[in-house]
Structure formats: C-alpha cells, structure tokens
Amino acid sequence: MTQFSFKFEAAILQTKMAEHLTKLRADRQLTMRELAGTLNESHSFISKIEKQNRRVSVGEFIHYCRALGHDPAKELDKFMRANTIAEIPVICGAD
C-alpha cells in the first residue's frame, strides 16, 4: 500500500479541475474574455486558472460554474465521480 500524499494528490486534482473548468467554458463556446467579462475579472485571471498557474478557491469555483450556467454542487459531484480521490485515513470520529 502506498502512502497518501496530500500535496501530490492536491496538485493532480488541481490540474484536473482546471481541465474541467476549461471544458465547461469551451462547451458553452465562450472565449476566456467573454467569461472574464461575465465574472468582472481580467482575461489573465481566467487564463491563469485554465493554464494551471493559479489555484481555484471554492468561491471562485462556484462563481465560475454559475457564470457558465452550471450548478456548482452538481459539477463538483460530477468531478469527484470522474476522478479518483484517495481515501484518507480518518483520525477523528466522523459526524
């Protein structure tokens, strides 16, 4: 059994998240500039996310999805089902 590496898996998931968000935008046939305008952000903000030069916060993910007409909760569920997420050993009791 291999040892779980939080940083390694987080980096992989970040890459896949950027790919997922890029696909959502492309499927809507929007340019980065158009999406940036909707989000009232710069073109470079979108570019950095999609080129994996910037991490996406939870709030940014929510707004990104909504700007593209997607339910953020459904998109996160879809993302998690499509990607293997390591089972992290539980230290404390679960609620």
Question: In tens digits, what is the pLDDT along the chain, a chain of 95 residues?
Answer: 456 677 888 888 899 999 999 999 999 999 999 999 999 999 999 999 999 999 999 999 999 999 999 999 999 999 988 887 766 666 666 55
Indicate the domain borders of the chain: 22-82
pLDDT in tens, 49-76: 999 999 999 999 999 999 999 999 999 9
Question: Under DSSP, is residue 62 helix (H, G, I), strand (E, B) or coil?
Answer: helix
Distance CA 87, CA 95 (A): 17
In CATH, 22-82 is 1.10.3720.10? no
**Spatial contact of 13 and 83, defined as CB atoms under 8 Å apart:** yes
C-alpha to C-alpha distance for 53 and 57, rounded to whole angstroms? 13
